[in-house]
Amino acid sequence: MITAYTDRSDIKMMAFKAGATEFLTKPIDVAEFAARTKNLVALRESQLMQRDRARLLATQVEEATMRITQREFETLTVLGKAAEYRDPETANHILRVAHLSKLISGNLGMDANEQDMIFHAAPLHDVGKIGIPDSILLKPAGLTDDEYNLIKTHTIIGYNMLKDSSSLYLRAGAEIALTHHEHYSGAGYPQGLLGDGISLYGRIVAVADSYDAMVTRRPYKEPWPVEKALKIITLEKGRQFDPIIVEAFLALPHEAETLYERYTD
Ligand SMILES: [Fe+2]
Ligand SMILES: [Fe+2]
């Protein structure tokens, strides 16, 4: 602001309040004007630099977060693959269970974050099979009681592998590994948990995993027709499975069909 008023401090105050950064009085002293202008330009330049730096930092933080998330997904994939090498179940089984679980959670009204969580954690449900000997894991039929009891420990092995991770996805995987063979009625394993005492993720994956096992080929059985599988799921409503989750599952026949076209064994 340049003005001829020299002794009006109220005007000066008003000018500063209105956003003036400098206040010069007439007549202008050329040297002072040049010095003050130089200061203002320097100030503006440093403001712009700071703004650019803030933008650069924000971009860098965003990129770093993306890289971490990417690595987390890589960890999940590697773990899933490790389990797959040991397990006669296929990669597509894991993918179908992930998709089915996500679809069910959507139908249950779970938010996008939780749907994303179950999608990435469900593939870890059988990761504990890494700890089960091949001679038992790959046996086509006729397991002894002891052998069957050993297979059941894949739930606890998986849980112990994942439970202490700082990753939310891996911890959700631990929860699912531990609870995906629990029954709503309390007759499941390893803890014989009852109803809502079973983790919600575990109850969802239990339906998706069982359905997929029924309609696909396994070393010990041929694939069952969809109608037969749906009948059994319905029959087990309130017994093996949470009734609400069975309802949510039965409400998605179309999406489930497309999944089986996309990820065939
Ligand atoms: Fe399992
Ligand atoms: Fe499975």
* Residues 238-262 pLDDT 10s: 999 999 999 999 998 677 778 888 8
106 CA distance to ligand 1 centroid (A)?
A: 23
Which of 33-37, 97-101, 230-234 shows the lowest mean pLDDT across its residues? 33-37
Which ligand is located closest to the Cα atom of residue 88?
2
Cis, peptide link before residue 190, omega less than 30° from 0: yes
d(CA 127, CA 154): 7
Both tokens assigned to 98: 């992930």
d(CA 54, CA 22): 27
115 CA distance to ligand 2 centroid (A)?
A: 18
Q: Is 23 exposed, middle or buried (0-12, 13-18, 19+ CB in 10 A)?
A: middle
pTM of the model: 0.78
The CA angle 61-66-67, to the nearest 5 degrees, is: 100
Query: Using one digit for the tens of pLDDT, what is the confidence trace for 6-43?
Result: 667 788 888 888 888 887 888 888 898 899 889 999 99
205 CA distance to ligand 2 centroid (A)?
A: 9
Q: How many CB atoms lie within 10 A of CB 142?
A: 7
* Strand 2-3, strand 24-25: pairing: parallel
Phi, psi (rounded to 5 degrees) for 221: -160, 155
Which ligand is located closest to the Cα atom of residue 126?
1
Query: Using one digit for the tens of pLDDT, what is the confidence trace for 168-225?
Result: 999 999 999 999 999 999 999 999 999 999 999 999 999 999 999 999 988 778 999 9
255 CA distance to ligand 1 centroid (A)?
A: 24
Query: Using one digit for the tens of pLDDT, what is the confidence trace for 124-173?
Result: 999 999 999 988 988 877 889 999 999 999 999 999 999 999 999 999 99
Which ligand is located closest to the Cα atom of residue 208?
2
Q: Mean of the per-residue pLDDT values for the chain? A: 90
d(CA 220, CA 111): 38
Residue 236 has pLDDT above 70, yes or no: yes
141 CA distance to ligand 2 centroid (A)?
A: 17
Q: What is the pLDDT of residue 260?
A: 84
Name the DSSP class of 89: S
